[in-house]
């Protein structure tokens, strides 16, 4: 049933344009009208931010029993018996007047403005505005455009002072770096002198600016909206799994934009994800396979490269002499295909999608799980035991920030160092590296804390425990690797201490690599087969449907690199992986790559490790194939094919 057909149980009967509709208790008139089929024009109102009533575009005639009067529909809640007229002559005159006022100083830039064709000011002027302007005076002029960061440019002439960008920066991202300055007729949006708009989330302001005042340096003058073809997909830069739209023109990706889905990203993207559109079009992309000859890597025919790839695997002395690292950037479908090739045909279990920076697969898949919504549920308590979410999983940071600031969620952080979330946490303790589990055990335990533990004072520990204990219901834990200098076993020990003390706890795994959950689901981990089944439990079934199955649990990435360094790996396969740059022990990665007899790589571009390969297969990347991906919650969403691979 469409949402507009739902009759709220706690409903408030109001009349909009003579038709009775039932609004939710506390629902804004602008939302109730839209939900029931009447669109009220707006500029400053944004459903994910607090209303401010800045632009007055949403004025409608409202009668609450004292006679009709113009009121901003984004600022008033529906009350019983309220009557609103969005089409009356008075409402239309107000809309007309507001648009004429906004256009008094707005430049006639539409033909050269990136927003032209998808501009709310343009569209609403056509739909609700005056046909002609009475202003003949010179318009206000300002230098255009000025860069306020490497990624965002500001054209102050076009700004209608709607307060969306400034509210987003302060309210949503917590980076109040863009403000209104000056007063009256001179009011403008700007940054502080010498302080660029250095926010990890700056691109969102470009997306929500209702005019062409904020534009992205990566998209300026690249395409016109009517030339764009758009497909919805899922960001694969990290594992949050934000929903995005991909815009392409002439078979080239032009930009990504956030799509609002309730359970994950609410329409927001981080800049890392948004501007990763440039990765797709990068000149560094591989367009053909490479093979090594005497002079280095040279372009080869697909038949030759595939032949060398296959014969290297064929000539491996045993299944145990094949090692496979990577796979977390694949689609679920590709991950299954590689899993079947290595485990079900070549019978090796030396396969690991994680590069020593995650958690053991049985922990990720075996812990009772929580969704992002459950972690951020109003009034809840979250124990953050993982990486700096602002750095690693930025939109999860935005959700946690909103939960803490707006929804009374108590955050307790246990991490060797302070992070982007520390200032929002009710308590934040920083144990010595390697001793996190001791601190967590003390926090969830019931013994009196009368001494310092792991460098954290008894007083700090009591404060953190009090914050955790304030929750009467179950707590949720965001669980990942706070420090790669600590072994994963410390995080596992901490999780186990929590479950022992509070068995109703649920966990959201904060794994960083994009589709690592999907890769684990498809069996790209030692001891696992596709479908979250262990080798032991699934071998019998798989031996009936696959040509082979591994005979014993294999090695993880560290084990594979050690075996390679010792000369026990004939073929090392890198599936979109770069252990030289990403594995925490760079020396071991170097020795592993040197020790492997043959290195095969599959990637979209060369990296430090694949440059050392004997064969490199050029892969289709993001936006170049369809499939599915699985985010940190285990939520499966679609990946779309928008452009042709190079
Ligand atoms: S720059 Fe755009 S979003 Fe910011 S206040 Fe001006 S019109 Fe609004
Ligand atoms: S948080 Fe992750 S999934 Fe979301 S936009 Fe950023 S990189 Fe992409
Ligand atoms: S949308 Fe209501 S005042 Fe701007």
Q: What is the DSSP string of 333-371?
A: HHHHHHHIIIIIIS----EESS-SSS--HHHHHHSPB--
Tell me the CA–centroid distance for residue 378 and ligand 3, in Å.
27
DSSP symbols for 158-177? G-----HHHHIIIIISS---
**Ligand 3, atom nearest to 42 Cα:** 1
Q: For residue range 415-429, what is the model confidence (pLDDT) as tens digits?
A: 999 999 999 999 999
Which ligand is in closest contact with the Cα of 269?
2
Strand (E) or helix (H) holding 48: none
Report the half-sphere exposure of 400 (CA within 13 A, side-chain side): 31
Residue-level pLDDT at 472: 75
Helix (H, G, I), strand (E, B) or coil at 121: helix
* Residue 158 pLDDT: 97
- 422 Cα to the center of ligand 2, angstroms: 21
Task: State the residue for tokens 């013994």.
Answer: 447
Radius of gyration of the chain (CA): 28
Reply yes or no on whether the pLDDT at 161 is more than 80: yes
Q: Determine the average pLDDT of the residues in 467-483.
A: 91
Q: What is the 3-state secondary structure (H, E, C) of 181-206?
A: ECCHHHCEEEECCCCCCCCCCCHHHH
Q: Has residue 5 got a pLDDT over 90?
A: no
β-strand partners of 166: none
Q: Is 273 in the pocket of ligand 2 (CB under 6 A)?
A: yes
Encode pLDDT of 449-461 as tens digits.
999 999 999 999 9
| Ligand 1 near 162 CB (within 6 A) | yes
- Mutating to test ligand 2, I would choose from 204, 394, 396 the residue with most ligand atoms within 8 A of its C-beta, which is 394
d(CA 235, CA 244): 6
Calculate the alpha carbon distances from 161 to 156, 165, 167 in Å.
9, 9, 11
- The structure tokens listed for 574 are 């890198």
- Residue 244 in contact with residue 258, Cβ under 8 Å? yes
CA of 615 to the centre of ligand 2 (A): 31
189 lines ligand 1 (CB under 6 A): yes
Half-sphere exposure of 631 (CA within 13 A, CB side): 26
Q: Under a CB-based contact definition with an 8 Å cutoff, are residues 426 and 412 in contact?
A: yes
Residues contacting residue 645 through CB under 8 Å, at least 6 positions apart: 287, 618, 619, 620, 621, 624, 625
Q: Please state, in angstroms and rounded to a whole number, the distance separating the CA atoms of residues 172 and 390.
A: 13
Percent of the chain surpassing pLDDT 90: 94
Q: Are 239 and 631 in contact (CB under 8 A)?
A: yes
Cα of 46 vs centre of ligand 1, distance in Å, is 12
**Ligand 2 pocket, residue 240 CB under 6 Å:** yes
Instruction: Scan for tokens 């929804």, then name that residue.
Output: 407
Q: How far apart are CA 244 and CA 487, in angstroms?
A: 35
- Give strand ranges (E) for 3-96: 12-16, 19-23, 59-63, 69-72, 83-85
Do the bridges between strand 322-326 and strand 351-352 make them parallel or antiparallel, or are there none, so unpaired? parallel
Nearest atom of ligand 3 to the alpha carbon of 75: 2
Going by alpha carbons, the residue nearest to atom 7 of ligand 1 is 159
Q: Tokens in use for 444?
A: 């969830």
pLDDT band at 6 (very low <50, low <70, confident <90, very high): low
In this structure, is the dihedral angle defined by the CA atoms of residues 102, 105, 108 and 109, taken in order, positive or negative? negative
Ligand 1 atom closest to the Cα of residue 208 is: 3
Confirm or reject: Cβ of 115 under 6 Å from ligand 1.
no
Q: How confident is the model at residue 4 (pLDDT cuts 50, 70, 90)?
A: very low
Q: Is 214 in the pocket of ligand 1 (CB under 6 A)?
A: yes
Ligand 2 pocket test: which of 201, 265, 276 has the largest number of ligand atoms within 8 Å of its C-beta? 265
Mean pLDDT, range 154-174, rounded to an integer: 98
pLDDT beyond 50 at 468:
yes
DSSP 8-state class, residue 20: E
CB distance 270 to ligand 2 below 6 Å: yes
Q: Identify the pLDDT of residue 79.
A: 97
Which residues are CB-contacts of 93 (< 8 A; sequence separation ≥ 6)? none
Using the atom order of ligand 2, give the atom closest to the CA of residue 238. Answer: 2
- The residue whose two tokens read 């949403």 is 58
Residue 181 pairs with which residues in a beta bridge? 188
Q: Are strands 506-509 and 152-154 parallel, antiparallel or unpaired?
A: unpaired
CA of 144 to the centre of ligand 1 (A): 14
**Tens-digit pLDDT profile for residues 9-68:** 679 999 999 999 999 999 999 999 999 999 999 999 999 999 999 999 999 999 999 999
Tell me how far apart the alpha carbons of residues 318 and 191 are, in angstroms, rounded to a whole number.
62
Site to substitute for ligand 2 among 269, 389, 637, 639, most atoms within 8 A of C-beta: 269
What whole-number distance in Å separates Cα of residue 439 and Cα of residue 156? 51
Q: Which single residue is written with the structure tokens 């073809």?
A: 229
- The number of the ligand 1 atom at minimal distance from the alpha carbon of 168 is 3
H/E element holding 446? none
Nearest ligand atom owner, CA of 629: 2
Q: Give me the pLDDT at residue 1, please.
A: 39
Which amino acids bring their CB within 6 angstroms of ligand 3?
Answer: 42-45, 53-58, 72, 74
Report the candidate in 428, 409, 401 with the shortest Cα–Cα distance to residue 174.
401
Pair type for strands 381-385 and 290-293:
unpaired
Does the CB atom of residue 44 touch ligand 1 within 6 A? no
Contact (Cβ atoms closer than 8 angstroms) between residue 309 and residue 617 = yes
235 Cβ below 6 A of ligand 2: yes
Distance of CA 95 to the CA centre of its chain: 37
Q: Which ligand is nearest to the CA of 632?
A: 2
DSSP lists the bridge partners of residue 477 as 383, 507
Q: Is the pLDDT of residue 8 over 90?
A: no
Question: Beta-carbon neighbour count of residue 223 at 10 Å?
Answer: 18
238 pocket-lining for ligand 2 (C-beta < 6 Å): yes
**Mean pLDDT over all residues of the chain?**
96
Our answer on whether the CB atom of 272 is closer than 6 Å to any ligand 2 atom is yes
Cα(190) to centroid(ligand 1), Å? 10
Q: Is the CB of 119 under 6 A from ligand 1?
A: no
Report pLDDT for 10.
75
Residue 396 CA: nearest ligand 2 atom is: 1
Q: Is the CB of 163 under 6 A from ligand 1?
A: yes
Report which bound ligand comes closest to the CA of 210. Answer: 1
CB 152 less than 6 A from any atom of ligand 1: no
Return the structure tokens found at 150.
Answer: 């490497």
348 Cα to the center of ligand 2, angstroms: 33
- Whole-angstrom Cα distance, residue 517 to residue 331? 11
Q: Kindly report the backbone phi and psi dihedral angles of residue 92, in degrees, each rounded to the nearest multiple of 5, phi listed first.
A: -65, -40
- Please work out whether the CB of residue 395 comes within 6 Å of at least one atom of ligand 2: yes
Model confidence pLDDT, tens digit, residues 536-588: 999 999 999 999 999 999 999 999 999 999 999 999 999 999 999 999 999 99
Instruction: Determine phi and psi for 317, rounding to 5 degrees.
Output: -70, -25
Ligand 1 pocket mutation, candidates 159, 171, 197, 206, criterion most atoms within 8 A of CB: 159
Model pLDDT, residue 116:
96
Instruction: Tell me the two tokens of residue 494.
Output: 């901490």
Is the predicted pLDDT of residue 483 greater than 70, yes or no? Answer: yes
Residue 241's alpha-carbon distances to 49, 86, 383, 628, in angstroms, are 22, 38, 22, 11
Taking the centre of ligand 1 as the mean of its atom positions, its distance from the CA of residue 213, in whole angstroms, is 6
Q: Which of 495, 382, 481, 392 is nearest to 428 (CA)?
A: 382
Binding site membership of 160 for ligand 1 (Cβ less than 6 Å)? yes
Structure tokens at 171: 């309210």
Helix (H, G, I), strand (E, B) or coil at 636: strand
Domains of the chain (ranges, CATH numbers): 3-101 (3.10.20.740), 109-216 (3.30.70.20), 237-280 (no CATH), 290-358+516-618 (3.40.50.740), 361-509 (3.40.228.10)
Strand, helix or coil for residue 5:
helix
Whole-number Å distance, alpha carbon 74 to ligand 3 midpoint, is 6
Atom 8, ligand 1: residue with shortest CA distance = 162
> What are the residues whose beta carbons fall under 8 Å from the beta carbon of 433, sequence distance 6 or more?
416, 483, 485, 486
Q: What is the mean pLDDT of residues 87-95?
A: 97
Tokens of 425: 């946490």
Query: What is the pLDDT averaged over residues 101-118?
Result: 94
- How many residues in the chain? 646
Q: What is the pLDDT of residue 135?
A: 87
Separation CA 207–CA 214 (nearest Å): 8
d(CA 123, CA 354): 48
pLDDT in tens, 373-386: 999 999 999 999 99
């Amino acid at each position: 049933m469409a949402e507009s057909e739902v009759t709220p149980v706690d409903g408030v009967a109001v009349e909009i344009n003579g038709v009775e509709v039932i609004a939710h208790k506390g629902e804004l008139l602008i939302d109730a009208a839209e939900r029931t089929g009447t669109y009220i024009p707006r500029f400053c109102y944004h459903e994910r931010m607090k209303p401010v009533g800045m632009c007055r575009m949403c004025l409608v005639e409202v009668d609450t029993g004292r006679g009709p009067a113009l009121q901003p529909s984004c600022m008033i809640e529906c009350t019983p018996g309220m009557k609103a007229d969005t089409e009356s002559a008075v409402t239309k005159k107000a809309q007309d007047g507001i648009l004429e006022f906004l256009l008094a100083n707005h430049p006639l830039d539409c033909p050269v403005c990136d927003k032209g064709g998808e501009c709310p000011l343009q569209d609403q002027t056509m739909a609700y505005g005056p046909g002609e302007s009475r202003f003949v005076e010179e318009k206000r002029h300002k230098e255009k455009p000025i860069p306020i960061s490497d990624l965002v440019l500001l054209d102050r002439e076009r700004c209608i002072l709607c307060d969306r960008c400034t509210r987003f920066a302060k309210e949503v991202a917590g980076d109040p770096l863009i403000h209104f300055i000056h007063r009256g007729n001179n009011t403008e949006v700007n940054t502080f002198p010498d302080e660029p708009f250095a926010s990890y989330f700056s691109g969102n302001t470009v997306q929500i600016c209702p005019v062409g005042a904020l534009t992205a340096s990566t998209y300026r003058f690249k395409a016109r909206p009517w030339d764009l073809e758009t497909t919805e997909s899922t960001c694969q830069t990290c594992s949050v799994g934000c929903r995005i739209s991909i815009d392409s023109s002439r078979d080239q990706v032009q930009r990504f934009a956030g799509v609002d889905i309730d359970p994950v990203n609410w329409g927001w993207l981080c800049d890392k994800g948004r501007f990763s559109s440039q990765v797709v079009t990068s000149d560094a992309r591989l367009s053909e396979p490479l093979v090594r000859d005497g002079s280095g890597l040279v372009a080869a025919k697909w038949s030759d490269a595939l032949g060398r790839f296959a014969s290297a695997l064929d000539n491996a002395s045993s299944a145990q002499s094949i090692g496979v690292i990577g796979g977390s950037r694949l689609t679920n479908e590709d991950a299954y295909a590689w899993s079947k090739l290595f485990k079900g045909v070549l019978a090796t279990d030396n396969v690991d999608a994680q590069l020593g920076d995650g958690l053991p697969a049985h922990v990720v898949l075996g812990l009772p799980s929580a969704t992002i919504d459950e972690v951020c549920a109003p009034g809840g308590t979250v124990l953050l035991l993982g990486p700096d979410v602002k750095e690693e999983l930025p939109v999860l940071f935005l959700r946690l920030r909103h939960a803490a600031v707006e929804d009374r969620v108590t955050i307790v952080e246990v991490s060797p160092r302070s992070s982007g979330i520390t200032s929002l946490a009710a308590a934040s303790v920083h144990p010595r590296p390697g001793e996190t589990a001791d601190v967590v055990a003390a926090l969830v335990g019931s013994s009196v804390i009368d001494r310092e533990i792991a460098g954290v004072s008894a007083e700090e520990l009591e404060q953190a425990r009090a914050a955790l204990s304030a929750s009467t219901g179950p707590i949720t834990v965001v669980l990942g690797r706070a420090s790669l200098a600590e072994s994963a076993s410390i995080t596992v020990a901490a999780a186990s201490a929590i479950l022992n003390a509070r068995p109703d706890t649920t966990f959201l795994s904060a794994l960083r690599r994009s589709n690592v959950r999907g890769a684990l689901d498809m069996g790209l981990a030692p001891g696992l087969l596709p479908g979250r089944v262990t080798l032991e439990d699934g071998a019998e079934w798989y031996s009936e449907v696959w040509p082979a199955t591994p005979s014993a649990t294999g090695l993880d990435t560290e084990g594979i690199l050690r075996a390679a360094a010792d000369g026990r790996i004939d073929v090392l396969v890198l599936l979109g992986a770069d252990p030289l740059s990403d594995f925490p022990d760079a020396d071991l990665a170097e020795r592993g790559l040197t020790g492997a007899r043959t290195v095969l790589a599959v990637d979209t571009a060369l990296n430090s490790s694949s440059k050392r390969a004997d064969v490199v297969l050029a892969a289709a990347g993001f936006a170049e194939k369809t499939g599915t991906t699985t985010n940190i919650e285990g939520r499966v969403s679609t990946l779309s094919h928008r452009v042709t691979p190079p």
